[in-house]
Copies of this chain bind each other. A is one copy, B any other.
């Protein structure tokens, strides 16, 4: 894009000098033109003949408007006439406008009459930009017109946007079909619109002082698009610079924190029930093999480990210090941690920003910055890293190893993670409390988990993103390799209000979060349970090799519910090839339903399940399999569970590994069957139809955005 930078600089400098918070209309149009955004042609006429000439050059119809520094409300002054159709009319209108303006305000200086090309027809759209406290500059696109305004049908992207992203935005509004031309209207020039979107993204990225852009309306015809009105708001107060170490620095510190060779426990206590005692016990009983240094002002030893009055008294290097002391003492001890060059501090104590003690928190952060210490928390339960048997927390220990890492901003959600994991024997690689996020936040964690081979899936509970832009950047990279699930709390306006009172954080507009998270390839969970189920399921399911999903069911009713769920989750029920249909028919009763779902009917013996499951696993046109098991006496739940796990084992041994999920309906025995399946790494859910499909749908959403299918 060729930008007329000197014009832009002049316009913005002039506005800054004049103390403006918005560009004047003419300047806004000039700025648009400088970025290659077409605006209606115009010219200033100072007499009737000139008006006729300019209008003739622009082409009729034109709009004519009084130009006077003394007349603000031009319409009230009779100073605006639209639909001027001829040279003759232009002359008449010139005289009429000047006379009206003079009558309206005899004192007004009249500079002439603006003659502007009258644009209309085509499709009405809106392109704009906003500055979000978390995400920074965002470009917006929406369909114009009153109905869509009512329906707030707008989509956002981080600025700047690529040409592909700009084109993608055109399809990301509900009524996007209108751009293709409907009801006899010609299609809109999509490339012209994409260029305008890109230009706006470039404009706000080049010039941070442009805080808001509103091109509304833009008329998009079959050949080009014109921005009729441009409003450009300015904010010359620079945003405070965000603290952001380099990715290498983040990674170096996070590695030592998450996989430490040695841990100091500040405030280690011999007294049962104290946090400093629980942390010691969890470290020791959890089986952590690195050095553990209890720090206690007087004790010789704590829980059998030699104690030190200060970290400065420790001989060897220390990777992380876990704080279990009252909040007011934190800054002073943090100084010692800094002197000892410990790269990470886990601040368990509460009593900081969340209780109004912002100054104390700021003080701790300042000390940390000075010494290059990364802070986790404060106001957290600590963290777990199972692959090192590390329970750096006062909560109950947890050691079931797996490949999903979870984090939570809230301690309550953290406890739900631990409880759900334990009861479902869900393997995890890490569970991390982020609390007030005075320093370490989700993008630091993502940077670590990205390269952590023990972690294949990340699931995060988020109330606010302090730096949404960094998160989006890191997430966009990570999600190409590993699924990232986010439960964004404070979604709704009421919820957002609660988020403010809880963390003092300004919760973002949910539509912005939604669009940016999707743009970053993040899978959004809609409930706490969904986040937990996605965390459990995504690490178990292999990546599908294609879109073809088959439902195989013993209960026609389950087939219907599972089909509904497929549609809700954007899954494609494969069209059944004739030969495959015939192959299934070999095994099922003549009245079983052919096509997809394959309904083997309810009275069938285990062999029918086995044969059809084997067929579905071995036919490589089927990419994923959804099973709808129905409890019968002929094929009891455990018989089904065992044959299914055998068949999957058999297929895996032949190198076939496709996603399989199962809905189990029946009496209570289906619970044991589901547990059997889960213990064999097969997702089976009792009394549920929609949940297994939702988990499969999440895997597909991830695989698609990662470009794997």
* A: number of interface residues (CB 8 Å): 99
Which residues on the B side are within 8 Å of A178 (C-beta)? 146-147, 150
8 A Cβ contacts from A194-217 to B: none
Give the residues in chain B near A686, CB-CB below 8 Å.
419
Answer whether residue A671 sits at the interface, using C-beta atoms and an 8 A cutoff: yes
Instruction: Report if A628-B412 is in contact (Cβ < 8 Å); known contacts: A502-B556, A668-B422, A687-B529.
Output: yes
What 1/0 mask marks residues of chain A from 155 to 195 whose CB sits below 8 Å from any chain B CB?
00000000000000000001101100011010000000000
Of A412, A561, A563, A568, most buried by chain B (CB within 10 Å of CB) is A412
Q: Are A419 and B667 in contact (CB under 8 A)?
A: yes
B559 A498 Cβ-Cβ under 8 A: yes
State whether B355 touches A591 (Cβ < 8 A): yes
Knowing A489-B561, A561-B489, A595-B501, the reply to whether A567 touches B495 (Cβ < 8 A) is yes
Cα distance A178–B564 in the bound complex, in angstroms: 33
Listed residue (A411, A566, A573, A593) with the most chain B CB atoms within 10 angstroms of its CB: A411
A147, A557, A567, most chain B CB atoms within 10 A: A557
- Complex CA gap A182/B151 in Å reads 13
Interface-side segment among A45-53, A111-119, A643-651, A688-696: A688-696
Distance (whole angstroms) from the CB of A292 to the closest CB of chain B: 22
Smallest CB-CB separation from A558: which chain B residue? B412
B contact residues around A554 at 8 Å (CB) = 412
User: Does A396 lie at the interface of the complex (its beta carbon under 8 Å from any beta carbon of B)?
Assistant: yes
- Interface flags, A673-692, vs B, CB<8A=1, else 0: 00000000000001111110
17 contacts between A and B (CB under 8 A): A145-B147, A147-B147, A396-B667, A410-B557, A412-B554, A412-B602, A412-B630, A412-B665, A415-B666, A415-B667, A419-B668, A494-B573, A498-B563, A502-B560, A528-B687, A528-B688, A529-B690
Chain B nearest CB from A49 CB (Å) reads 31
Contact: B461 with A557, CB < 8 Å? yes
**A670 within 8 Å of B by Cβ?**
yes
> Which residue of the partner chain, among B150, B175, B410, B591, contacts A555 with CB atoms under 8 Å?
B410
At the interface, yes or no: A28 with Cβ under 8 Å from chain B?
no
Distance between Cα atoms of A412 and B499 in the complex (Å): 42
Query: Among the interface residues A185, A501, A686, which one has the most CB atoms of the partner chain B within 10 A?
Result: A501
Contacting B at CB under 8 A, from A485-502, are: 489-495, 497-499, 501-502
Across the interface, do B665 and A489 meet the contact criterion of CB distance under 8 Å? no
Among candidates B497, B666, B689, residue contacting A528 with C-beta atoms closer than 8 Å: B689
Contact with B along A118-159 (1 / 0, CB 8 A): 000000000000000000000000010111111100000000
Establish whether residues B411 and A667, one from each chain, have CB atoms under 8 Å apart when the complex forms. no
Known: A147-B143, A560-B463. Contact between A687 and B599, CB under 8 A?
no
CB distance from A391 to the nearest CB of B (A): 13
Q: Is residue A655 within 8 Å, beta carbon to beta carbon, of the partner chain?
A: no
Q: Which residues of B contact A560 (CB under 8 A)?
A: 410, 463, 489-490, 495, 498-499, 502
Q: Is there an interface contact between A556 and B175, defined as CB atoms closer than 8 Å?
A: no
Tell me if A273 is interfacial: C-beta within 8 Å of chain B. Answer: yes
Complex contact A556–B410 (CB within 8 A): yes
Interface string of A486-530 (1 = CB under 8 A from B): 000111111101110111000000000000000000000011110
Do residues A591 and B356 form an inter-chain contact, with CB atoms below 8 A? Answer: yes
A463 B502 Cβ-Cβ under 8 A: no
A239 on interface, CB distance cutoff 8 Å:
no
> Chain B residues near A631 (CB, 8 Å)?
415, 419
Could you tell me which A residues sit within 8 Å of B by CB distance? Answer: 143, 145-151, 174-175, 177-178, 182-183, 185, 273, 350, 354-356, 395-396, 408-413, 415-416, 418-420, 422-423, 461, 463, 489-495, 497-499, 501-503, 526-529, 532, 551, 553-561, 563-568, 573, 589-591, 593-595, 597, 599, 602-603, 628, 630-631, 633, 665-671, 686-691
**6 cross-chain pairs, A with B, having the tightest CB-CB distances, nearest first:** A410-B557, A412-B555, A355-B591, A492-B567, A495-B564, A416-B665
Please name all residues of chain B whose beta carbon is closer than 8 Å to the beta carbon of A490 when the two chains form the complex.
Answer: 560, 563-564
> CB-CB < 8 A to A146: which residues of B?
178, 182-183, 185
Chain B residue at smallest Cβ distance from A351: B591
Asked whether A687 and B354 contact (CB < 8 A) given A418-B667, A501-B595, A557-B408, the answer is no
B666–A416 touching, CB < 8 Å:
yes
Contact A532/B602 with A146-B178, A150-B178, A354-B556 known, Cβ cut-off 8 Å = no
* Contact indicator A665/B413 (Cβ below 8 Å): yes
Q: Which residue from B356, B395, B494, B590 sits with its C-beta under 8 Å from A667?
A: B395
Give Cα distance in the complex from A365 to B704, angstroms: 51
- Contacts beyond the supplied A411-B630, A499-B560: 6 A-B pairs with Cβ under 8 Å: A419-B631, A419-B669, A463-B557, A490-B560, A494-B563, A503-B556
Complex CA–CA separation, A490 to B556 (angstroms): 11
**Is the Cβ of A557 less than 8 Å from the Cβ of B665?**
no
Q: Which residues of B contact A628 (CB under 8 A)?
A: 412
Min CB gap A124→B, angstroms: 10
CB contacts (< 8 Å) of A420 on chain B: these are 687
What distance in Å separates the Cβ of A276 from its nearest Cβ neighbour in chain B?
A: 14
Contact partners of A410 in chain B: CB under 8 A: 555-558, 560
> How far in angstroms is the closest Cβ of chain B from A243?
25
